[in-house]
Structure 1
Amino acid sequence: MFNGYTGDFRINGKRRDLKAFKPNVAFITQDTSLQPYLSVKEAMHFAANLKIGTHMSPAAKRERVLSILVAIGMYENRNTHTGNLSGGQRKRLAIALELVNNPPVLVLDEPTSGLDSSTCNQLITLLKKLAVEGRNVICTIHQPSALTFSMFDHLYAIAEGQCIYAGGSQNLVPFLGALNLHCPESYNPADYLMEIATHDYDTEDERQVDKLIALMDNGRNDDYRQSKTARVAQLAAMRKVEQMMNSGLLTPVTAPIMSGGVGHCRQSFNFKPLTPINELSSRIWDSQMGCDDAKSDANCCKPKKKKKNKPTMSMPTLELDPAHLCKRENIYATPFYRQLSILLLRTFLLIWRDSSLTTMRFGIHLAIGLLIGFLYYGIGNDAANSMNNFRYVFYTIMFIMYCAFSGILVKFPVELPIVSREHFNRWYSLRAYYVAITLADLPIQIICSSLFIVPTYLMTRQPLEPWRFGMFFLIVFMTALVAQSIGLAVGAALSMNMGAILGPFFICPFLAFSGFFLQEKDAPVYLRWFFDVSFLKYSLDGAMLALFGYDRARLECNEMYCHLSRPKHILKDLDMVNANYQLAIFFMLGLLIMMRILAFYIMSFRLRLFR
């Protein structure tokens, strides 16, 4: 994008400091993905607790959330799940989620896409009021209506990678007239400009786009900046939308008043349409609002004091001075442990609300467990069924492993749009999210494994020694965790469709060298090293040792002759005489840690691509 160009990024004439700039910018994507099982109020409270630091009391956070919901016309829908909201309501809620910490810069990608004309006017009016208060609102819009177009303060139009117009929306028609491109009176100037950009008015001798680029000097010409007289037309457009709101055609929206949030003082809901902002980003000025005087020198980074000027009609400017920042990296509003606790609470709440999926996982494990229990009923101490015991152990490992693998495979791809937006806007760190989803699924996996292993272990009449059952459960559960880690890495690396198709193929090499289909002693010499890196081989060894190792007594034989009545002979016949349970556990633990780290860095890489 910037090939052939050199220079600095500057904000208000000052060189941009990325750490200072990012916490002050909120980016709202075109795809307003939200957690469908959270209510509007719950989503706002989670956002407030993550994006606002401890300088603001819980009561003040609740007050701010309510004030924003009332202002954007979502108070009546506060108990509605976000999955049941309309398109316009979802757009307004996405904006409200980023307003909780009052960022001075809002960047929106196609905010009006998929909305009807009236909802579009309502949303643009809300953005306009936020801009009038002093925020910098930047939008990409392809086809604005005439009413929407008239509300823009500054228009920057691009064609073929170059600027064809930069200035006030009211100055576009005079600009085109200077080039003998006269917009019809009944025509939307935005549509007319787009037709010029798509070469509808080109001739064989000249291209109109080149004329626009030349007159605008590729965006360097400032002659068409918005004038004060142009604001009259904008106010008229806003009044027209206000009349539609007052008549009940649109839900009334306005810009929320942001209180400082210090202490427990409460304010009534008195929403004036245009109210000047009294604070910048709460991330930058945490110390200004919540630090004790005694500790201010050591822990706070207060901005330099400025002389108070008389209020003027000019718009407030955004100041991002790196000198105002602490020396440490001050990226997130809340510390890691606080992020983790909030994300864990949200994850458990979503699991509870989406009970159908969790209940289905429980039901499948229990139903298949009962089926396998009846299929292999009473074979645990029967020497004639020694190989069936081996098959039972293998099926147990494979079922638990594949269920854990497939259950986590699509989790990150499904949540990627939400995580990308929230992480990009500095709600929480990837580390906190990763630990939260890891811890949240542990009890679910323990319950699923228990619902399968406990009934099958009892129904097949395996040794009723607690330590043997514990060893068996532990090695199978470790297999499930390793499979989850592999599924998480594959899901993070691939799209949802590709992961669902190619995911099982990442398990196949481990399965082929598990020792069930082909023993290591019978494999070619040059392929035997694959057995040493197959986690299913170690899992199968550990599970068989738990049931038949450690000097287990001879099995009962109810037939005339039982070839494999001694557990040691069973292990020898299966090429497991040299197996080591401790080695299997340590290998599984090492592979678990390695795959978790790999999945984390793959997620980090995917999120960097979003930026």
Structure 2
Amino acid sequence: MAALVQQENTCELHFSNLHFKIKKKEILKDISGQFPPASLIAVIGPSGGGKTTLLNILSAYSPQNASCDYLQVNGVNTNFEHLRNISCYITQDIHLNDLLTVEENMCFAADFKLGVTHSQIEKNAIITELLDSFGLSTMRTTRAGKLSSGERKRLALAQEMISDPKIIYLDEPTTGLDISSTYQTLAFLKKIAARGKTVICTIHQVCASHFNMFDFAYVIADGQCAYQGRPQDLVMFLHNQGMPCNIHHNPADYFPMEMELVKREVHNRYYTVGQYYMSVFILDLPISTLTVITSNMLIYYLTGQPLEQERVILFIIVSVVMGATTNAIGFCFGTLLNFNNAIFLASCTQVPLLAISGFAIMPQDIPYLVDKFSQLMYVRTGANGFLVAVFGLQPRKLNCPAEAEYCFYSNTHRFMKELQIDPNDYTSALYVLAVWCISVRVITYYTMRYRLSLPIYIPCISTK
């Protein structure tokens, strides 16, 4: 039986005195709650009240710096890691592989989530049932990039339903939808909840009729729980607290005071960061290698360099290692910063390195400490490797113009000596470049984990 129609093992989630702060600012202030099973639950409140933060923590999307007395599922103590394993999280901004069709996106998710535990026939059956149930069967061959906002949300949810999560978190699933689309989305989520799933949504703004479609409401104001219970009882609760709601007011509007696709897929257990990083590296390696060899050999030939086997092979080796190093550095900047800032900062760091690498200043004119520093930089060592390949090894006699009385640099080894480069030492350059390449690759892996804000799972303990 497909994952969608399983009704057993419903989950009731209970948390007590959940506390979260960033530096000295308290976001959640010892709040507690109990979310009933097989229910559509609305987490509502004013902007900045802590709705999304609560969802991020309960889904184990970013539980760092969070603490509580206990977390329970069906009355049994648990932790954030277990919550992550039985749940899925759909963020507000839906990120899909836009170039893939609806069916291809589903197959992609099924292959990663189900692996070899299910045959291809079983996977196809699950995909077909989910697409039929989610109203996407007529769009199998439509590219995800051409879907409407509501259809993208349904596709993202259908992908996560493949692994049969017991708890489903959605961050503002109705944002950007019109009234009709909002009703259809909530009706669809209510149908999923009726099949045994605990569906928890943050809602920023919703009309009164839509608000009453929820089975349970959890109201957050200023990082504290203001109300939890049936939406239909909210008005009476506020009235009893001395805050009567005007008959013309919407109860949901009345109370007291995102690398994103990868982040979602890593969190929802498609793959690990290490697996993603290695796959990107393996896929990029042949393309970048072929590009570097083609472009550099074209330059080598057009500049009239000797077509000697030893020089050509060494030139190719240096080109590949240098290309891998610069590619790793670019990838590192890309994981740390957004696109524009990465390009700007990467360019700014290259200028001083070029200046002290013998391109603008002769090595003997560079201060001693700066010279030693530049010898460890990939720009200078890469340049040295290229110079050894082109002008080193066996001495070359460069052509001297007929009108020139004397050509000091006609002997290539004399030129290499002026640059303080051993004409026969290419291994030093390769070693330094290899160290750079490996080190930056390792650093990039950890910067990627930092950028994705992957959780470090800790026991849920009291701060009191």
Higher relative contact order (CA 8 A, sep 6+): 2
* 1:587-611 CA distance string (max 9 Å, x none): 1001100000011111112222689
Indicate the larger mover: 36-45 or 522-531.
522-531
Runs of 5+ consecutive residues of structure 1 not aligned to the other structure: 199-412
Is the contact between residue 112 and residue 270 of structure 2 (CA under 8 Å) also seen in structure 1? Answer: yes
Matched, 1:513 2:356: yes
Counterpart selection for 2:256 from 197, 218, 236: 197
* 1:390-422 CA distance string (max 9 Å, x none): xxxxxxxxxxxxxxxxxxxxxxx9xx1111111
Instruction: Sort the Cα spacing of 1:164 and 1:511 in 2 relative to 1 into closer, same or farther, 3 A.
Output: same
Structure 1 residues 190-589: aligned runs within 5 Å: 190-191=252-253, 194=254, 196-197=255-256, 416-560=259-403, 561-577=406-422, 580-589=425-434
Is the contact between residue 513 and residue 534 of structure 1 (CA under 8 Å) also seen in structure 2? Answer: no
What CA distance in whole angstroms lies between the structure 2 residues aligned with 1:176 and 1:565? Answer: 92
Q: CA deviation at 1:543?
A: 0.8
Aligned position for 2:99: 37
Structure 1 residues 123-162: aligned runs within 5 Å: 123-162=185-224
What CA distance in whole angstroms lies between the structure 1 residues aligned with 2:260 and 2:162? Answer: 20
Indicate the larger mover: 152-161 or 140-149.
140-149
Is the contact between residue 391 and residue 416 of structure 2 (CA under 8 Å) also seen in structure 1? Answer: yes
Secondary structure, in 3 states, of the residue corresponding to 2:200?
strand
Is the contact between residue 515 and residue 531 of structure 1 (CA under 8 Å) also seen in structure 2? Answer: no
What CA distance in whole angstroms lies between the structure 2 residues aligned with 1:568 and 1:162? Answer: 75
What letter matches 1:140 in structure 2?
T
What CA distance in whole angstroms lies between the structure 1 residues aligned with 2:133 and 2:445? Answer: 39
Q: CA deviation at 1:97?
A: 1.3
What letter matches 2:224 in structure 1?
Q
What letter matches 2:281 in structure 1?
T
How many correspondences in the alignment?
392
What CA distance in whole angstroms lies between the structure 2 residues aligned with 1:470 and 1:186? Answer: 81
Is the contact between residue 413 and residue 423 of structure 2 (CA under 8 Å) also seen in structure 1? Answer: no
What letter matches 1:424 in structure 2?
H
Counterpart selection for 2:77 from 7, 10, 15: 15
Aligned position for 2:13: none
What CA distance in whole angstroms lies between the structure 2 residues aligned with 1:573 and 1:542? Answer: 16
What CA distance in whole angstroms lies between the structure 1 residues aligned with 2:243 and 2:407? Answer: 99
* 1:131-184 CA distance string (max 9 Å, x none): 000001000002122332122111011122222211011222332343465545
CA root-mean-square deviation: 2.2
Aligned position for 1:282: none
* 1:502-554 CA distance string (max 9 Å, x none): 22122233222221212222212232222221111111111111112111442
Matched, 1:90 2:152: yes
Instruction: Sort the Cα spacing of 1:155 and 1:547 in 2 relative to 1 into closer, same or farther, 3 A.
Output: same
What CA distance in whole angstroms lies between the structure 2 residues aligned with 1:180 and 1:449? Answer: 73
- Report which of the two has the higher share of strand: 2
Instruction: Sort the Cα spacing of 1:494 and 1:454 in 2 relative to 1 into closer, same or farther, 3 A.
Output: same
Secondary structure, in 3 states, of the residue corresponding to 2:135?
coil
What CA distance in whole angstroms lies between the structure 2 residues aligned with 1:172 and 1:466? Answer: 82
Counterpart selection for 1:595 from 419, 425, 440: 440
Instruction: Sort the Cα spacing of 1:12 and 1:83 in 2 relative to 1 into closer, same or farther, 3 A.
Output: same
Aligned position for 1:240: none
Is the contact between residue 289 and residue 323 of structure 2 (CA under 8 Å) also seen in structure 1? Answer: no
What CA distance in whole angstroms lies between the structure 1 residues aligned with 2:350 and 2:280? Answer: 22
Secondary structure, in 3 states, of the residue corresponding to 1:106?
strand
Is the contact between residue 514 and residue 531 of structure 1 (CA under 8 Å) also seen in structure 2? Answer: yes
What CA distance in whole angstroms lies between the structure 1 residues aligned with 2:131 and 2:402? Answer: 76
Instruction: Sort the Cα spacing of 1:564 and 1:146 in 2 relative to 1 into closer, same or farther, 3 A.
Output: same
Counterpart selection for 2:118 from 52, 56, 59: 56
What CA distance in whole angstroms lies between the structure 2 residues aligned with 1:556 and 1:509? Answer: 33
- Report which of the two has the higher share of helix: 1
Instruction: Sort the Cα spacing of 1:606 and 1:508 in 2 relative to 1 into closer, same or farther, 3 A.
Output: same
Counterpart selection for 1:166 from 216, 228, 238: 228
Aligned position for 1:106: 168
Instruction: Sort the Cα spacing of 1:131 and 1:73 in 2 relative to 1 into closer, same or farther, 3 A.
Output: same
What CA distance in whole angstroms lies between the structure 2 residues aligned with 1:492 and 1:166? Answer: 40
What CA distance in whole angstroms lies between the structure 2 residues aligned with 1:487 and 1:437? Answer: 14
Q: CA deviation at 1:578?
A: 6.1
Aligned position for 2:26: none
* 1:260-311 CA distance string (max 9 Å, x none): xxxxxxxxxxxxxxxxxxxxxxxxxxxxxxxxxxxxxxxxxxxxxxxxxxxx
Aligned position for 1:115: 177
What CA distance in whole angstroms lies between the structure 2 residues aligned with 1:158 and 1:18? Answer: 21
What CA distance in whole angstroms lies between the structure 1 residues aligned with 2:280 and 2:353? Answer: 25
Aligned position for 1:315: none
* 1:173-210 CA distance string (max 9 Å, x none): 3323434655455653323xx2x435xxxxxxxxxxxx
TM-score, reference length from structure 1? 0.61
Secondary structure, in 3 states, of the residue corresponding to 1:435?
helix
Q: CA deviation at 1:496?
A: 2.7
TM-score, reference length from structure 2? 0.79
Q: CA deviation at 1:36?
A: 1.7
Secondary structure, in 3 states, of the residue corresponding to 1:54?
helix
Aligned position for 1:605: 450
Runs of 5+ consecutive residues of structure 2 not aligned to the other structure: 1-18, 22-28, 31-67, 457-464
Structure exhibiting the larger radius of gyration computed from Cα positions: 1
Q: CA deviation at 1:575?
A: 2.5
What CA distance in whole angstroms lies between the structure 2 residues aligned with 1:37 and 1:14? Answer: 43
What CA distance in whole angstroms lies between the structure 1 residues aligned with 2:245 and 2:408? Answer: 96
What CA distance in whole angstroms lies between the structure 2 residues aligned with 1:577 and 1:455? Answer: 26
Q: CA deviation at 1:563?
A: 2.6
Counterpart selection for 2:138 from 63, 71, 76: 76
What letter matches 2:145 in structure 1?
G
